[in-house]
Amino acid sequence: MMTLRLILCFLLLSGCLAELTVAQTAYIPSPWTKIRVFESNLSDVERLFGDARNKEARIVQGEIKPNYRRIYDLPNAVAFVTYSQGKCDSAQPLWNVPEWTVIEVQYSPDEGTEKLKDLLAGMKRYKSKQAGDVETHTEYYSDELGISVVYDNEINEVLHITLYPSEKMKLSYDCDRVRKKVPPLLKNGRKA
C-alpha cells in the first residue's frame, strides 16, 4: 500500500513539473528552452551544448569540489548553467532535485542575434524594472514563469535571458518547505 502511495505521489509531482517547465517553453522561443529547469541534467546539457569550458573541479577551503556552475560556448551565445548540488539531505541543499540537475540557465546572446519583441511573447505577463545600477538596462521578468530578460535600451540589445525556478516550482521543490514537510501544490493550486 505504501509503495502504491509513493508511486502515485511521484506521478503527481512529475506531472506538475512537466506543466511548469512547459510554461517556460511557451513564452520564450527555442533554442533558449531546450534545457529545462529542474528537468534537464548534466548529460542533457552536454549532449546539446558539448563540453563546458570550465568543467574541472575547484579547490574550496582546501577541499576539491565539483564545479556546479559551468560555461558553454554556443554558436550564437554563451550559456551559464547552474546545477543542483544534491537533494535536501546533501551538504549544501537548495532545491529538492538530484545532483547535477539544472537549477538555472542564463544565456548571453551574441550582439544582434535576439530582439526583445521576438523573445517576450505575451508581454503583459512580464513586469519590468531597472536592472541593477545601469539606467539604460531594463529587466523584464515573470516570477510566475521563471523567466528574466535583461535589455539594454541604449544599444537595443538583449543582454541576458535567464530561466530560473518559477513560483510554483519553488513551492514544490524548496528545501526549506521539504524540511518543514509543507505539502507541494497540485495543478489546481491546492495543497496535496
Model pLDDT for residues 159-185, shown as the tens digit of each residue: 999 999 999 999 889 888 777 766 655
What string of H, E and C letters represents the secondary structure of 46-90?
HHHHCCCCCCCCEEECCEEECCCEEEEECCCEEEEEEECCCCCCC
Instruction: Please report, rounded to a whole number, the percentage of residues in the chain having pLDDT higher than 70.
Output: 73
Instruction: Count CB-CB contacts under 10 A for residue 101.
Output: 22
- CA–centroid distance for 145 within its chain: 10
Q: What is the pLDDT of residue 8?
A: 36
C-alpha cell at 21: 517547465
Identify which has the larger pLDDT, 115 or 29. 115
Phi-psi region of 166 (alpha: psi -120 to 50; beta: other; left: phi over 0): beta
Does residue 116 have a pLDDT over 90? no
pLDDT at position 6, please? 33
pLDDT score of 183? 61
**For a pLDDT cut of 90, what percent of the chain falls above it?**
41
pLDDT of the residue at 185: 56
Tell me what the mean pLDDT of segment 20-41 comes to: 68
Would you say residue 47 has pLDDT above 60?
A: yes
Q: What is the pLDDT of residue 184?
A: 59
pLDDT of 95 reads 92
Query: What residue segments make up the domains of the chain, in order of their start?
Result: 2-179
Exposure class string for 152-176: b at 16+ Cβ within 10 A, else e: beeeebbbbbbbbbbebbebbbbbe
Residue 13 has pLDDT above 50, yes or no: no
Phi, psi for 190 (deg, rounded to 5): -90, 160
Average of pLDDT values for 45-57?
92
pLDDT of residue 36: 92
- 10 Å CB burial of residue 183 (0-12, 13-18, 19+) is exposed
Rounded Cα distance between 83 and 69, Å, is 6
Average pLDDT, the chain: 79
Phi, psi (degrees; rounded to nearest 5) at 44: -60, -45
pLDDT band at residue 137 using 50, 70 and 90 as cut-offs: very high
What is the Cα–Cα distance from 38 to 17, expressed in whole angstroms? 8
- pLDDT tens digits, 61-105: 888 888 999 999 998 899 999 999 988 887 777 899 999 999 999
